[in-house]
Structure 1
């Protein structure tokens, strides 16, 4: 919920895309002015255009040699201007659902509604570049600091938080799903009889919580440090962009996923199945998803090899195979798996469960065609409605149709059985992540 809120705030307040939304409220205090961040070694994704940052738990103050007794916090300035963002939305859907239960079959009919509500007042806070320049001339980096020594050894880029958006007052973000007459609240999670059910979720955003941040890169050499005011733009591989622009944004998504997953087309069916089983396991368990992501990132970072060990039997087969792979092949496999995991990380937990059910029912390939059509209709153009071929929503069983509609609506596109579609909240990135997940699951499962 917090991630959705901060993304919305950045989209509304920073169309120039210089601010990066904070993705976890639990770590928001590590993205304050003067905090040091590590930029992960992976490119921006079409479904995640912001850089991937990892907090270090250190600030600039922690790694500087002693100097004048000046409190660095006094250099942090607060912008007096404030902007209140308010959002209230409600969507209503009518329909039915038939779910087969052993030994009985249950018919569920009714209506469902989804509402979102919040009002928040962000405020800017940051340190002036003039203050940073004065500090740079006055104090050197402590090259004996263990954190700095490890950075230098592993050649990791370091970034400094210079500006943030924070909540100036406590705010509450609410979501409510209401189901009447037995209509499902969460598919395959809760079945209720003839009654009314309301599922409410809310999150309290405390005063001073960091919502988004801006960074500048720091270069360190022999104790001296410089600020990179004009960072070089990343150059994408020629093979990656070859045919993307001709097909618009859909083309960019398709070429990105094909390039990032190119290694999978070279693998044996047995190895594809091993990877698929590991992916299915992490879709059920967020802790496993995090573990696998961290291990794959370490493979790319450590040139002297990475020992792949796990206590999870669900990952053991994959790790054993990767451990005995040649270095070049291991890097390609880690790159492809990391790309898939990044896409899954963008999806909601309910979507991951729906995707697992879709795999079981063997309807992923049809869902992939549907989402591909959705991406052809500029989903970044607001709430312009459009139609897709109703045949793409025609499945052998009614519950498969409802499952698919739920899957797509959780990415921000409301669908009706007749093929009408209404985008909500400019959902291109969310739908692109869903496309990547469906594409890779379809590829790994050997579906046609």
Structure 2
């Protein structure tokens, strides 16, 4: 929920997407100015173009040798004037699903529509380049620091936080999913096992909470350190050279590359992977555990342990122990890629995907979402149409479920194929496509 909010704020305030949304409110204090981060994995994805950062718990001040004046550098940052983000959304009250944001704000409900105003005051804090350069000339890295010694034994890239966006006052963010008797919303409510007609979730954002951040790569050599101010262009999504494919071609190339290992596995192994993926889709703790285990395989030649107290994961871990190292790396990379895509989806979407597997409609949903990616969902907020035949299912409930699934990724669909994108939803739709692609491929073993 916090992640959804911060992504929305970054999309509105930073169209260039240089800032990275903070994904967990529990760890937001680790993304303050001058904190050190390592790049978790080298690869970035079309559905997550920013790097995968991991907090270290250390600041630049922690790893520098003492300065001549003995002063801390924690106060080097500069504050901008506070500014307010206000976002208004209106959903037609047609008996369908309404996803709205309403943090301590104004809610206007009429006979035909529901409007919500979301407002949050924020400000930027940044470290000037002049301050960083003066610091670089004055103080060297402590090469005997335990963190620096450990870092030198890895190939991790080190980054320093130089700019943040923070909440300048307390605010409560509330998300409502209202049923209103529509089949789409009933699926969300029923599959989520909420048992109520309306589901409200709230999260308190304290003053000073980090919402997004920006970094600069930090290079260390024999005590000296350099900052790469001009690192740009790593996260741009290239256009596919095909007149009718749009960004679908980009997503297809990436997903086929990461998932090709699955086509080489036996049906028995595919089924074990599918059952494991289904288990973690319904349990975020299991999803995190599986992600960490796969990352251990990718980052460590030895020293990792493929064991779990969960029987839902142990079947996969026992199977992986029989793979040769080369194949194991490819499989861990493929599973990690799928888990990354699932992590980008909303909880309700994961539950709707599980229901879709039961109804055996994933293949058709994949074709529909692929059709959406042929349109420009990245820059132009324009209405378009998809093939209405892709919305034709044997059962009306399947259609409503699919429309609800897609709407949660930011594209509103009507039965006639008309589509309305919201909030430049390319990355959200790409993540949904990857999840459907993997589930469709793995479920072929059933």
Query: Do the aligned residues in 1 keep the contact of 2:96 with 2:180 (CA within 8 Å)?
Result: no
Query: Do the aligned residues in 2 keep the contact of 1:119 with 1:173 (CA within 8 Å)?
Result: no
- Structure 1 residues 61, 310: CA separation in 2 closer, same or farther (over 3 Å shift)? same
Counterpart pick for 2:334 among 320, 336, 341:
336
Give the secondary-structure state (helix, strand or coil) at the position aligned to 1:56: strand
Gaps of 5+ in 1: 98-110
The match for 1:302 is 300
Give the C-alpha shift of residue 71 in structure 1. 2.4
Give the C-alpha shift of residue 65 in structure 1. 2.2
Aligned equivalents of 1:245, 1:418: Cα separation in 2 = 29
Q: Please give the residue correspondences for 1:13-52 in structure 2 after superposition, counting only pairs within 5 Å.
A: 13-52=13-52
The aligned length equals: 427
| RMSD across aligned positions (CA) | 2.7
Query: Do the aligned residues in 1 keep the contact of 2:49 with 2:235 (CA within 8 Å)?
Result: no
Give the C-alpha shift of residue 192 in structure 1. 6.7
Give the secondary-structure state (helix, strand or coil) at the position aligned to 2:338: helix
Aligned equivalents of 2:62, 2:180: Cα separation in 1 = 56
Q: Please give the residue correspondences for 1:1-400 in structure 2 after superposition, counting only pairs within 5 Å.
A: 1-67=1-67, 68-80=69-81, 82-94=82-94, 116-181=116-181, 184=186, 186-190=189-193, 197-231=197-231, 244-246=240-242, 247-304=245-302, 306-400=304-398
The match for 2:105 is none
Query: Do the aligned residues in 2 keep the contact of 1:113 with 1:177 (CA within 8 Å)?
Result: no
Aligned equivalents of 1:34, 1:129: Cα separation in 2 = 12
**CA deviation vs aligned residue, 1:259-289 (integer Å, no higher than 9, x gap):** 1111111111111111111111110110111
Query: Do the aligned residues in 1 keep the contact of 2:246 with 2:375 (CA within 8 Å)?
Result: no
Aligned equivalents of 2:163, 2:261: Cα separation in 1 = 40
Give the secondary-structure state (helix, strand or coil) at the position aligned to 2:74: helix
Give the C-alpha shift of residue 226 in structure 1. 1.9
The match for 1:108 is none
- Structure 1 residues 12, 166: CA separation in 2 closer, same or farther (over 3 Å shift)? same
Query: Do the aligned residues in 1 keep the contact of 2:31 with 2:213 (CA within 8 Å)?
Result: yes
Give the C-alpha shift of residue 25 in structure 1. 1.5
Give the C-alpha shift of residue 233 in structure 1. 6.0
Give the secondary-structure state (helix, strand or coil) at the position aligned to 1:261: helix
The match for 2:108 is none
**CA deviation vs aligned residue, 1:75-121 (integer Å, no higher than 9, x gap):** 111123x3321012131353589xxxxxxxxxxxxx99776531112
- The runs of 4+ residues in structure 1 deviating greater than 4 Å are 111-116, 190-193, 232-236
The match for 1:106 is none
Give the secondary-structure state (helix, strand or coil) at the position aligned to 1:43: coil
- Structure 1 residues 324, 232: CA separation in 2 closer, same or farther (over 3 Å shift)? farther
The match for 2:102 is none
- Structure 1 residues 6, 112: CA separation in 2 closer, same or farther (over 3 Å shift)? farther
Query: Do the aligned residues in 1 keep the contact of 2:95 with 2:182 (CA within 8 Å)?
Result: no
Give the C-alpha shift of residue 245 in structure 1. 2.9
The match for 1:401 is 399
Aligned equivalents of 2:420, 2:391: Cα separation in 1 = 15
Give the C-alpha shift of residue 205 in structure 1. 1.8
Give the C-alpha shift of residue 298 in structure 1. 1.6
Query: Do the aligned residues in 1 keep the contact of 2:92 with 2:113 (CA within 8 Å)?
Result: yes
Give the C-alpha shift of residue 44 in structure 1. 1.4
Aligned equivalents of 1:434, 1:304: Cα separation in 2 = 33
Aligned equivalents of 2:298, 2:232: Cα separation in 1 = 22
Give the C-alpha shift of residue 162 in structure 1. 0.7
- Structure 1 residues 24, 114: CA separation in 2 closer, same or farther (over 3 Å shift)? farther
**CA deviation vs aligned residue, 1:339-379 (integer Å, no higher than 9, x gap):** 10000000011111111111111110011111111111212
Aligned equivalents of 2:351, 2:123: Cα separation in 1 = 37
- Structure 1 residues 17, 225: CA separation in 2 closer, same or farther (over 3 Å shift)? same
Query: Do the aligned residues in 1 keep the contact of 2:218 with 2:228 (CA within 8 Å)?
Result: yes
Give the C-alpha shift of residue 420 in structure 1. 2.0
Query: Do the aligned residues in 1 keep the contact of 2:189 with 2:195 (CA within 8 Å)?
Result: no
Aligned equivalents of 2:87, 2:13: Cα separation in 1 = 14
